[in-house]
C-alpha cells in the first residue's frame, strides 16, 4: 500500500522523504506522474492536481490537501462520495499569514507607498496626516482570521470581525450573520481583510456592491482566494474612489497574466501567492499521522466537512 503526492507547482522530494521517515519506511510514497502501481494507492496528497486524476486510483480512501484550502479537492466532479478529506492546519502557516497581514496593515497605516513615490522623485515631503487612522474589518474569523484579528487588536488597532457563527475574541468586536449583513459590516470599517474559506457562498463576495458601502478612500487586503474577488469590480471601486489601495496575494488566474490591468494600477500591490507557504516537514508529520489514524480507524486530524466546504 502507498501514498501518492499529486502536487504540480513545486518540488516535493523533501515532502516525500519526510513522510517516509515519519512512517519509518513502511509505506512507499510516490510522486505523480511516476506512480508504478496505482492500485496500491490508499492516500493522496494533492495541490493543483490535474482534473479527474483521482479516478486512476481504484482503492483510494483518503485525500489530504497540502494546505489549509480544500476547494481544489471539493471542486473535483469525480471525487468519490465516501472519500475522507483532510487539510493541513499548521502553526507555521498561521505565523506566515499573520506576518503578511501585519506587514500590509502597517505599510498602509504608515503610508509607505507615499514615501517610496517621493524617494523615486527625490522629493522630501511629509503627508498631511502621518498615520492613517484605521478601523480594520476581518472578514472570516476561523483559525487564521481569528488569530490575526487578535494580533491586530493587541497592537492597538480597532478591529471588527465578521463570521457566519458567533465568535468571542479578546479585543475584537465580533459580529456574525445574525447581527448584520456584509454591507452593514463594511460600513463600519475602512480596511477590509479577507480570510474567508472558498465556498459557493463566498465566491465573488468582494464586489462593487460591497465596496460602495465602505467609506471613500478605504483599503483592501485579500490573502484568502482569488475567487473571492470580482477583479473588474475592484477596478471600478478604485476608479470611483471607494478603494485607494489594495494588497493582493491571490488571483483568479495564477501566475497573473502579463496583460492583466492590475499591473498598471499603482494603488494595487501584487505579491505572487506567498503570504503563507506550507512547511513540508510540518505537513509530512500531519500527513503521516492521518495515515496512521486512518489505518487504525481513529478520528482524523483536520477533517473537512463537505457541506461547509472547509
Percent of the chain exceeding pLDDT 70 equals 100
Q: Which residues contact 287 (CB under 8 A, 6 or more apart)?
A: 3, 15, 19, 22, 43, 45, 64, 88
The whole-angstrom separation of Cα 100 and Cα 110 is 15
Mean pLDDT on 86-96: 90
- Rounded to the nearest 5 degrees, what angle is found at the Cα of 213, between the Cα atoms of 209 and 218? 110
Q: Which candidate in 113, 260, 273, 293 is catalytic?
A: 273
Residue 101 corresponds to which cell in the numbers above? 497581514
Q: What is the CATH number of domain 2-90+278-296?
A: 3.40.50.720
Q: Is the confidence at residue 200, as pLDDT, over 90?
A: no
Q: What is the pLDDT of residues 157-198, one digit of tens each?
A: 999 999 999 999 999 999 999 999 999 999 999 999 999 998
Q: What is the pLDDT of residues 49-83, one digit of tens each?
A: 998 899 999 999 999 999 888 988 998 888 888 89
Strand locations in 231-294, DSSP E?
243-248, 268-270
Cβ pair 265, 237 in contact under 8 A = no
Q: Is the confidence at residue 34, as pLDDT, over 90?
A: yes
Domain extents in the chain: 2-90+278-296, 92-270
Q: Is the confidence at residue 111, as pLDDT, over 90?
A: yes
Computed on alpha carbons and rounded to an integer, the radius of gyration of the chain in Å comes to: 21
The whole-angstrom separation of Cα 271 and Cα 256 is 10
Q: Do domains 2-90+278-296 and 92-270 have the same CATH topology?
A: yes
Q: Which candidate in 49, 87, 109, 225 is catalytic?
A: 225
pLDDT of residue 3: 98
Q: Is the confidence at residue 86, as pLDDT, over 90?
A: yes
pLDDT of residue 259: 96
- Rounded to the nearest 5 degrees, what angle is found at the Cα of 288, between the Cα atoms of 284 and 290? 120
The verdict on whether 212 is a catalytic residue reads: no
The whole-angstrom separation of Cα 46 and Cα 300 is 17
Q: What is the pLDDT of residues 227-278, one digit of tens each?
A: 999 999 999 999 999 999 999 999 999 999 999 999 999 999 999 999 998 8
The verdict on whether 273 is a catalytic residue reads: yes
pLDDT of residue 79: 87
* 92-270 CATH fold: Rossmann fold (3.40.50)
pTM (two decimals): 0.87
Amino acid at each position: 500500500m502507498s501514498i501518492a503526492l499529486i502536487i504540480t507547482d513545486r518540488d516535493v522530494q523533501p515532502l516525500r522523504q519526510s513522510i517516509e521517515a515519519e512512517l519509518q519506511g513502511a509505506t512507499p510514497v510516490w510522486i505523480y506522474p511516476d506512480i508504478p502501481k496505482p492500485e496500491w494507492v490508499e492516500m493522496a496528497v494533492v495541490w493543483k492536481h490535474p482534473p479527474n486524476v483521482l479516478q486512476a486510483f481504484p482503492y483510494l480512501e483518503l485525500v489530504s490537501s497540502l494546505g489549509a484550502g480544500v476547494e481544489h479537492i471539493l471542486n473535483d466532479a469525480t471525487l468519490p462520495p465516501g472519500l475522507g478529506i483532510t487539510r493541513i492546519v499548521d502553526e507555521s502557516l498561521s505565523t506566515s499569514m499573520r506576518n503578511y497581514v501585519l506587514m500590509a496593515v502597517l505599510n498602509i497605516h504608515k503610508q509607505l507607498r507615499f514615501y517610496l513615490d517621493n524617494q523615486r522623485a527625490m522629493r522630501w515631503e511629509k503627508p498631511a496626516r502621518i498615520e492613517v487612522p484605521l478601523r480594520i474589518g476581518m472578514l472570516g474569523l476561523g483559525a487564521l482570521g481569528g488569530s490575526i484579528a487578535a494580533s491586530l487588536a493587541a497592537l492597538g488597532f480597532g478591529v471588527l470581525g465578521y463570521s457566519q457563527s458567533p465568535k468571542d475574541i479578546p479585543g475584537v468586536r465580533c459580529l456574525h450573520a445574525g447581527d448584520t449583513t456584509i454591507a452593514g459590516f463594511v460600513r463600519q470599517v475602512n480596511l477590509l481583510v479577507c480570510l474567508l474559506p472558498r465556498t459557493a457562498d463566498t465566491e465573488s463576495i468582494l464586489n462593487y456592491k460591497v465596496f460602495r458601502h465602505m467609506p471613500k478612500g478605504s483599503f483592501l487586503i485579500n490573502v484568502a482566494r482569488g475567487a473571492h474577488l470580482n477583479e473588474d469590480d475592484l477596478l471600478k471601486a478604485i476608479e470611483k474612489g471607494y478603494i485607494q489601495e489594495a494588497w493582493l496575494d491571490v488571483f483568479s488566474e495564477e501566475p497573473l497574466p502579463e496583460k492583466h490591468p492590475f499591473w498598471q494600477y499603482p494603488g494595487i500591490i501584487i505579491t505572487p501567492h506567498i503570504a503563507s507557504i506550507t512547511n513540508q516537514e510540518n505537513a509530512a508529520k500531519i500527513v503521516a499521522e492521518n495515515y496512521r489514524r486512518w489505518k487504525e480507524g481513529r478520528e482524523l486530524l483536520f477533517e473537512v466537512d463537505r457541506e461547509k466546504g472547509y
